Structure 1
Amino acid sequence: MKKKGFVLMMCLFLVGNAAFLSACETEAQRVSYNLSQEADNFNVVRQLTVINCLEGDTLFQMTGKMSIKADTNDNQLEIIVENEDGSYKKHFVGLSDNVTYVVEDLDVNHIEKYKYTLNYNPKMWIPFEVETID
């Protein structure tokens, strides 16, 4: 009988601890996790803006349903988009001390799941001339 009482008490203790530990998670943490999962499953329209902090210029923007991961080891963003045929494309954005980015979740219903846009700032391209040898 003592053994059954001990087992029952241990079960109640474990259930109580599980309830206590799960209560430590805030609502904001749950919402943040859920939003990240939705974005990683290509269900959220996002806009990525990459900014040159020295000049204050936007280098480019990318808009669509995408998963974005900051790779701090390689100092870059890894962006994955899903194509209509089920294939995926991966884009990399190199970051530096003077380049930063902003990611916004947009509430847009008219974006197609398999379309994304990538807009470059034309002022950021370095012009060059091609010389031909006669």
Structure 2
Amino acid sequence: MKKIIVVIAAMVIMATVFVGCQTESQKVSYNLSQEADNFNVIRQLTVINCIEGDVLFQMTGKMSITADAADNQLEVIVEDENGYYQKHFVGLSDNVTYVVEQLGIKNVSKYKYTLNYNPKMWIPVDVKTID
């Protein structure tokens, strides 16, 4: 029993040490990424042909962007003004690159965070009591 307590205490100490090792910029970067992935930030995605210098594609809005290295593409999920979502794929190649810009200022804290739950994912439960 004492060994289990010692192991648990060691794990808690290690977790605390690793959390404390983050720099301020890492915390802010994480929080900004979370805000964007929760569709709270307006971004602009620009896809550029590096050989010709032409803009191939541009999209602006509340979007979550994931670089899929295995398929060599960007997966872009966009929220429209009605709260509906669309998923787009942008293929990348040796001569195509992209830039993602955050438009406007988002005030995030290195200390605060928000938990977002999807209410559609909750399983409804009926509680019955005996009188």
TM over 0.5: yes
Query: After superposition, where does 1:30-109 map in structure 2 within 5 Å?
Result: 30-107=27-104
Q: Which moved more, 1:98-107 or 1:24-33?
A: 24-33
Q: 1:84 and 1:16 mapped to 2: Cα distance?
A: 45
Q: Tell me, which stretches of 5 or more residues in structure 2 are unaligned?
A: 107-131
Q: Which has the larger radius of gyration?
A: 1
Q: How many residues align?
A: 106
Per-residue Cα deviation, 1:61-97 (whole angstroms, up to 9, x for no partner): 1111111111111111111112344431111110000
CA RMSD of aligned residues (A): 2.4
Q: 2:61 and 2:19 mapped to 1: Cα distance?
A: 34
Q: Secondary structure of 1:33's match?
A: helix
Q: 2:47 and 2:8 mapped to 1: Cα distance?
A: 52
TM-score scaled to structure 2, two decimals?
0.68
Structure 1 85/25 Cα, relative in aligned 2: closer, same or farther at 3 Å? same
Residue identity over aligned pairs, in percent, reads: 67
Offset at 1:29? Answer: 1.3
TM-score scaled to structure 1, two decimals?
0.67
